[in-house]
Structure 1
């Protein structure tokens, strides 16, 4: 397998950009609520397709390195920007505000993408690769919609969130009160517009190279920037996460847990894994939340596990 490395990330940018421009088909999927941005690439010798469900704030541009890498390894790749982020439609006048009405809006979008785009261009075996919030969306979709996925690989899945200095119960009360007062579109306390904090203060990755490219990409493309979450997003998220224990995904799951994660609560990952007999969970030491954008010594073993998982569920 080919693995993209931090040391060669700068020198590989030309090849990545050529791939993005010449080999990646990009377009919009029309929905009653707005347009969803998506892209796909299918190498000639592809045997398996990978459908990517990204995390909150993320979108196609952030995943260029990974998509290129998967393509070089003969995987067909499909990716969609979730509503409210990336190049997909935004709900509110202030486009920095993270908002969604209901979580099933996300999973319904994923179903439409799978039916109208993925299935149109790919009829072979496929697996899902999901990160953080995208993992919650993937679980909801796979449990509720008819599909033909062979397995799902979950990177630092958001099955519960940290409420930092405020205990969970008071947080839920504040969010419920705010929504009852009609403050759905207001930023939650401590949230604001996009703010690129320095690498030394970030909680996402310990790879300075990948973090720098991520921030440079968002600086060059202001229209894909996204800020903090609203009370509406928190209300929808809390409501969904309360129901996640009732969902059953009847296909193999691999849960990659970041041992040093301070964004999501890892205990919920182990709880979900225990409820699924066909689930595997592995912790990656010293890893922060964004496993797919971590240092090579973390990211390479992660992707090795992903490739082995793909082989095991599609052979």
Structure 2
């Protein structure tokens, strides 16, 4: 397998951008609620398709390196910006506010994308790749919809939220009460418009070059920027998380857990994995939240496991 690496990222930038602008077909998909932005690319002799459900504040633009790498390795790739993310439709006048009415709305959109885009262009084997919030969306989709995915790789899945200094029961109660009082469109306590923090204090990755590329992209493309979450988003997410105890998925799952994660609560990943009959969980002790944007030794270990998992299906 080919692995993209930090040492050659700058050198390969021209090739990555050429792939993104020429091979990756990009368009808008209309839904009754708004338009979703998506992209896909199918190499000759493609063996499988990887359908990607990305995380919060993410866009397919952020996934240039990973999409290019998958394409180099003979995988067809499909990816969509979830509602409220990237270039897809947003709910509120302040587009920086991360908001959703019901968490299940994400998977309902994802189902439309699969029906109208993936099914139209790919009839072979397909596997699902989720990251963070996108993993929760993927799990919701797999548990509620009839589908043809043969397996799913879930990176740092948001099966619960890491609430840091705030006790979780208080965070849940505050989100619920604020939503009941009509404040669901307000930023949750401590949340703001998009704010790029310095690499030295970031919680997402220990790869400086990948982090700086992400921030440079969002500086150059302001329409991709997204700030913190609203009380409505937080309440909808906690309600969805509470429903996970009753959800089952009937295909093989690989849960990749970031050992140094301070965005999602890893304990929930272990609890859910134990309830599944075909779930494997592996922890990457030195990894921060964004496993696919980590430094090479972590990222390649994760991707090696991903390729092995997908090829064995």
TM-score tier (shorter): over 0.9
**2:282 paired with 1:265:** no
Q: Give the superposition deviation at 1:114.
A: 0.5
Aligned counterparts of 1:279 and 1:85: Cα–Cα separation in 2:
29
Equivalences for 1:49-88 in 2 at 5 Å?
A: 49-88=49-88
How far does residue 106 in structure 1 lie from its aligned partner after superposition? 0.4
1:24 aligned onto 2:34: no
Q: 1 CA distance for matches of 2:37 and 2:249? A: 27
* Shift, 1:221, TM fit: 0.1
Give the number of aligned pairs: 313
- Tell me, in whole angstroms, the C-alpha distance in 2 between the residues paired with 1:106 and 1:173: 23
Which residue in 2 is equivalent to 1:105? 105
Aligned mates of 1:279, 1:177 — CA distance in 2:
36
What is the distance in 2 between the residues matched to 1:44 and 1:94? Answer: 42
Per-residue displacement from partner, 1:122-167 (whole Å, max 9, x unpaired)? Answer: 0000000100000000000001000000000000000001111110
Q: Equivalent residue for 1:287?
A: 287
Which residue of structure 2 lines up, in the alignment, with residue 244 of structure 1? Answer: 244
Q: Does 1:305 align with 2:305?
A: yes
Q: Give the aligned partner of residue 230 of structure 1.
A: 230
- Which residue is 1:176 aligned to? 176
Aligned to 1:187: 187
Measured on the aligned residues, the alpha-carbon RMSD in Å equals 0.5
Structure 1 stretches of at least 4 aligned residues deviating more than 3 Å after TM superposition: none
In the TM superposition, residue 277 of structure 1 has moved relative to its aligned partner by 1.6
Matches within 5 A, 1:210-221: 210-221=210-221
Structure 1 residue 26: deviation in Å? Answer: 0.2
- Measure the CA separation in 2 of the matches of 1:75 and 1:147: 19
Q: 1:254 Cα shift?
A: 0.1
Gaps of 5+ in 2: none
What residue is the counterpart of 2:254 in the other structure?
254
Structure 2 residue matching 1:14: 3-state secondary structure: helix
Q: Which residue of 2 aligns with 1:45?
A: 45
Structure 1: distance between partners of 2:157 and 2:179: 26
User: Aligned partners of 2:146, 2:205: CA distance in 1, in Å?
Assistant: 35
Task: Classify the secondary structure of the residue corresponding to 2:19.
Answer: helix
Structure 1: how far apart are the matches of 2:257 and 2:164?
A: 19
Corresponding residue SS for 2:7: coil
- TM-score, normalised relative to structure 2: 0.99
Residue deviations 1:230-271 (CA, integer Å, cap 9, x gap) = 001001100000001111100000000000111111110011
Q: How many angstroms does 1:303 deviate by? A: 0.3
For structure 1, the residue ranges without an aligned partner over 5 or more in a row are none
- What is the 5 A alignment of 1:129-168? 129-168=129-168
C-alpha distance in structure 1 between counterparts of 2:223 and 2:311, whole Å:
37
CA shift for structure 1 position 47: 1.0
Match of 1:119 in 2: 119
The C-alpha deviation readout for 1:260-295, integer Å capped at 9, x for no partner, is: 111111110011110012100100021000001000
1:61 match: secondary structure? helix
Structure 2 match to 1:96: 96
Match of residue 274 from structure 2: 274
